[in-house]
Structure 1
Amino acid sequence: MDLAPGAAADVDQATTVAELLTALDEIEEPPSAATRLAERIRNWRKEDVGLHLIDAYGHRLMPKFVYYGDYDVMPGKVSIPDLVNRRNNGTLERGELALLSLLDMAGVTLRDFQQTDRHERLIRELENSGNVISDEVFEYWSQNTDLEVKLEILPVEEGAQPPLNQPPILQIRVRNQRHRVSVPFDDRSRGFVWFFSFLAYFNKLEEAEDSDLILLLDEPGLSLHGRAQEDLLKLIDKRLAPKHQVLYTTHSPFMVSPRSLHRVRTVVDHDKVGTKVSSDILKADSDTAFPLLAAMGIEMTQTLFVGENTLLLEGPSDLIYLDVLSDAVESEGQSGLDPQWVKAPIGGAGKLSTFATLLGANKLNVAVLVDSSTKDVQAVQRLRDNGQLTRNGLVEVGEFTGTGDADIEDLFEADFYLDLVNRAYAAQLPKPITAADLNGKDPRIVRRFEAYFRQHDIAGGRFNHYRPAAVLLREQADFLPKLTPAVLGRAERLFDKINGALKHGS
């Protein structure tokens, strides 16, 4: 269409059909093409029966789509007059709307800040607002429950730049009750600021809308670490999803629930075809499927490898000894190791403190069985002192052998373990080892064999702890009758101590 420059600019700026129609109607001398287009716009919905039915009956039943992105966060400090002006002009940003929502929760209006006679009442209402939103946020946010939100009125700072040079100034602060200090809202982690802002905005949105909402969240966990993303999933599942439909995009495995893979849709850009959304995750390319595979891997480590009550052991031989001794104790009518324990060999004493820390962070009940000489005992003790292990969660073998230096093998009589070693290495020993061949001054029986194997170059000079344990596992019928009452008594006391660390209610 050939239009005058001014009319052409108005038409070009139109972003909706209604704005386009208004721009066409305001042309003083419209060309015929513009007149035909305006008439066509007015009639096209009347001519289409389906669209007419939607306008007449379906429109009021349509849900409202709401988009919330990573940058829609509340400001930590605002000028009330500036906020009033931009609210009246309709230029408020999403984060500022969340701030208004926070004030509405306390029954506070922007006009209240400009009435000096309401100062004391305003302080009480702001405190109440902070308490309400703090309680609601920390129902879902489990990362630091010692925080609380405060709203304060500040004077204008000297040299403040517009618009913060217009009093009064409202500031949001976050107080850490444990450390008794507060910082401006903007100085908290980006993840907490986003989480707080979203919940405040959603509260207002939910109150204002009578119709159902379809929430579109763009990478909602982008600034949250893994555990905080699990908090966000809890918020979505418990608070949002029961009332509204929630669609969110993510590349993070922590934002995918392995128990709800039926809810996942992959989005793949195909050459010459375009973007395809599919519920068949097996057809996704490796890059798209990676977060799903990672999510499944995280779940497997929490379900196959560990359980709610996890007993960490140094190696697989410890597991065999505990199982065999537990069966032997139970055959005598006593209590063995409780089956609620998931026994997890982690491949060496040096890894004990690391695994205890990782599993404790996952809110599991963790106990550790260590050799009394383990150099990692002090590190594990610090975990217990810091609350990452249960109070009785550090169990040292020496407590039951009566020696300060002991391995789990020292629960057995020396002759019993000597028999296991001779059978395990029968093919490699020129003659059976006798007690006289070993250094009887060493309190640890395993260390006696390690020294003997090095001195006589047996099996390359390396003693394998697992091989005697494997013999005991295979030949229990021969060895169990040889267990003395003293050995069974030590094992029973050990199991009583470990079982005492079980999580209550498990």
Structure 2
Amino acid sequence: MRLRTLHVKNFRCIEDSTEFTICPVTCLVGKNGAGKTSLLEALYKVNPDVRELAAFDVLMEYPRARRREYQKSAAGGAGEPDDALITTWELEDRDVARLEEVLGAGAVKSRAVVIRKGYYPERHWAGAIEPTAVSPASRDHTGDACVAPTTPEVEGDVEISIPVEVGTATLPDETSDAFFEQHVAGLLPKVLYFSEWHIMQGRISIDALLYRKQKGELTGPDRVFLALLELGGTSVEAIGRIERSEELIADLEDAARPVTDEIARFWSQERDLRVSFHLYPGRPQDPSPFDRGLVFETRIVNTKTNMSLNFEERSTGFVWFFSFLVWYSDVRKRYGDNLLIVLDDPGLGLHAKAQWDLMRYVTERLAPQYQIVYTTHSPFMIDPDRMAWVRTVEDICDTTPDGAMKFLGTKVGDKVLSTDHDTLLPLQASLGYRIMQDMAGTKRLLLVEKPADVIYLNWFSARLHESGRRGLDPAWTIVPCGDLVRLATLVGLLANDARGFAVLLSLSEQDPDVVNQRELSRMLESCRTYPLRRYARPVTSTIEDLIGAPAYPALIDLCYNLPRKQRLAGRLLDADESPMLKTVADRLSEQHSATGPFDPMRPAECLLGMGGRKARKLPGLQEALSRFEDLFGDLNAGL
């Protein structure tokens, strides 16, 4: 069975999420506190991997603002208990075949099955399934099956259209529920839920764990540790009776080896990590509860350095991976491969590269076999090629006609994405990064600081090509990035393929901005850098210095149509050791020109609009062309 729609209401901060569709991999994106985790926890209760966590608790989970009123109403017997979860599922081909093998050909009249859960003991079912042949398996449960209108069959991952009548059908009676529980419940995927609250602890007091288990107060980390023991063929009760701990350690390390091998394949951050286990008596000087009884410690060994650390002191990514794989392996062992995997903020706190590793594991290892629903607010956990699988989650407030604020609770965007900027920010970042990657995929990028740089480089390259000289190779794509900090940051982001990038650096390596900011220098070192001081006189050259005097001052005169007495051409020849842009800006400011503040983009646009004959009259143009030719020669050689 595949989950097709999800609808949560009357649960924690969720008054009514509205119904939304579920994809092969569904990514719930939203701000902290929007209700993403509550959606997952409600879904988990439809068929949880831990049976005792299936019930909805009125005291702890019903919306607080209405809880007392609801409890009074329920105690007085007014109305039906409230739903908290409504799910629509689609029977797959193999499910239909199994049902019709038992119930007779044509028993499945619609593949849509609706399951409701709420503040009542059992699940309620609705669907168009009824026996077409009397058999021992079906003879006792045929009278009260709820028949819903037939929906079109679907193939693959195409969404099904569920009629309103199915989603709002009258709750079936107990006999009908019993029929579905007997024949259909076994086809329902077991929901595997994993969050940071399940991450295994590095040290465990065996006595304290036994006490929590006897009291029915096991925590998420407790359950993962018990799953590890189960994989090793033992139990926490057996540890207390063990005579030789070496045999236990050997069995557990043997069970953990496939887990660490799987991590090594997908966890590119550190591939030389292995797990080791230790069992020792508690020491009086240790904090409670590790000062008595047996203590089990998990340590991570770096085989490259032969150093070990407590499990909890190791990198977050490795700890998350190991804990999840232990739990996943144990759930598969108990329930088989009919699973729905629900992950709450996987990769929280991980480096971007580690989040990519985690997404690669999800898409390559899990997605081909299971449906997955996960939450995130990181752009690196969103697949920009599958934005249709993203659902936005918001905590909505509205304004009533009298101006008061009305709390609407968590809402999930399905067909239309949110309009809230903060909610959409991870999606925008993911798409922006993919656009940069795609842009770099087929071209070599020449990163410059200003849009004017793009115009000058293209203009001078075209003039050189026209005269049969060496211009810029068309394999280069020129991209303006802003100031030095933004430029260096972009290089750092795209440094996975540093050979595809070059930086035209307007500031020299001796500039304080580069020398004093070691991180900028380090990022710029990851690709080829071409300081313009190699090709022009001033130490702090920009591309305007490459044009040089007298060509650039003459261009300023033409651009601003300066009177003869205020023209700069011929007056800036002594400015070889000062940046051209600064000198021009200062002179125009001194003359209080009526043209307004100096804009470096304006002369570039003026040059672009000049006819060839007028441009060739610029003094010093040939010297400028020679300097650009030297730069282009070095850039082209870098290809």
1:194-343 matches, cutoff 5 A: 194-220=320-346, 222=348, 224=350, 228-250=354-376, 255-266=381-392, 279-282=414-417, 286=419, 290-291=422-423, 293-303=424-434, 307-308=439-440, 310-331=445-466, 332=468, 334=470, 336-343=472-479
Deviations 1:135-177 (A, max 9, x none): 43354445x4266243231533422466645665332223567
**Residue 58, structure 1, aligned to residue 194, structure 2:** no
Q: Which residue number corresponds to residue 152 of structure 1?
A: 277
Distance in 2, Cα, partners of 1:351 & 1:438: 33
Distance in 2, Cα, partners of 1:103 & 1:492: 70
Distance in 2, Cα, partners of 1:16 & 1:470: 68
Greater share of helix residues, 1 or 2?
1
Shift of 1:55: 4.8
Shift of 1:399: 1.6
State the one-letter code of the partner of 1:262: A
Shift of 1:122: 6.2
Q: Which residue number corresponds to residue 549 of structure 2?
A: 414
Deviations 1:101-126 (A, max 9, x none): 5566677887689766673x766666
**Residue 494, structure 1, aligned to residue 631, structure 2:** yes
Structure 1 range deviating more: 258-267 or 362-371? 362-371
State the one-letter code of the partner of 1:239: R
- Residue number among 485, 489, 504 corresponding to 1:369 in the alignment: 504
1:69-80 matches, cutoff 5 A: 69-79=195-205
| SS of equivalent to 1:435 | coil
Q: Which residue number corresponds to residue 604 of structure 2?
A: 469
Residues 367 and 395 of structure 1 are in contact (CA less than 8 Å); yes or no, is this contact kept in structure 2?
A: yes
Deviations 1:253-302 (A, max 9, x none): 554434323223456788899976552224x5x55x842x2133213432
Distance in 2, Cα, partners of 1:391 & 1:265: 37
Residues 393 and 498 of structure 1 are in contact (CA less than 8 Å); yes or no, is this contact kept in structure 2?
A: no
Residues 278 and 298 of structure 2 are in contact (CA less than 8 Å); yes or no, is this contact kept in structure 1?
A: no
Shift of 1:370: 1.6
State the one-letter code of the partner of 1:432: R
Q: Which residue number corresponds to residue 535 of structure 2?
A: 400
Distance in 1, Cα, partners of 2:395 & 2:315: 34
Shift of 1:183: 3.1
Comparing both chains, which one has the higher relative contact order based on Cα–Cα distances under 8 Å and sequence gaps of 6 or more? 2
| SS of equivalent to 1:66 | strand
Distance in 1, Cα, partners of 2:530 & 2:518: 10
Change in 2 beyond 3 A, CA 1:439/1:15: closer
Flag structure 1 segments of 5+ consecutive residues without an equivalent. Answer: 1-13, 18-42
Residues 311 and 369 of structure 1 are in contact (CA less than 8 Å); yes or no, is this contact kept in structure 2?
A: yes
Structure 1 range deviating more: 464-473 or 330-339? 330-339
Deviations 1:397-420 (A, max 9, x none): 122336644322232352322331
Residues 491 and 527 of structure 2 are in contact (CA less than 8 Å); yes or no, is this contact kept in structure 1?
A: no
State the one-letter code of the partner of 2:627: R
Residues 106 and 128 of structure 1 are in contact (CA less than 8 Å); yes or no, is this contact kept in structure 2?
A: yes
Deviations 1:67-93 (A, max 9, x none): 233311212112457767877998754
Distance in 2, Cα, partners of 1:15 & 1:436: 84
1:162-201 matches, cutoff 5 A: 164-165=290-291, 168-175=294-301, 181-188=307-314, 193-201=319-327
Shift of 1:194: 3.5
Output the aligned Cα RMSD. 4.6
State the one-letter code of the partner of 2:144: D
Q: Which residue number corresponds to residue 432 of structure 1?
A: 567
Distance in 2, Cα, partners of 1:178 & 1:128: 20
| SS of equivalent to 2:196 | coil
Flag structure 2 segments of 5+ consecutive residues without an equivalent. Answer: 1-51, 56-138, 147-175, 397-405
Distance in 2, Cα, partners of 1:101 & 1:342: 55
Deviations 1:405-445 (A, max 9, x none): 43222323523223312111115665533314553453644
Distance in 1, Cα, partners of 2:227 & 2:637: 50
Shift of 1:219: 4.0
Change in 2 beyond 3 A, CA 1:299/1:86: closer
Distance in 2, Cα, partners of 1:501 & 1:114: 69
State the one-letter code of the partner of 2:628: A
Distance in 2, Cα, partners of 1:97 & 1:47: 42
Q: Which residue number corresponds to residue 98 of structure 1?
A: 224
State the one-letter code of the partner of 1:151: S
Change in 2 beyond 3 A, CA 1:305/1:456: farther
Residues 498 and 527 of structure 2 are in contact (CA less than 8 Å); yes or no, is this contact kept in structure 1?
A: no
State the one-letter code of the partner of 2:429: I
How many residue pairs were aligned?
A: 455
Structure 1 range deviating more: 46-55 or 199-208? 46-55
Q: Which residue number corresponds to residue 403 of structure 2?
A: none
Change in 2 beyond 3 A, CA 1:442/1:62: closer
Residues 538 and 577 of structure 2 are in contact (CA less than 8 Å); yes or no, is this contact kept in structure 1?
A: no
Residues 492 and 526 of structure 2 are in contact (CA less than 8 Å); yes or no, is this contact kept in structure 1?
A: no
Distance in 2, Cα, partners of 1:441 & 1:273: 67
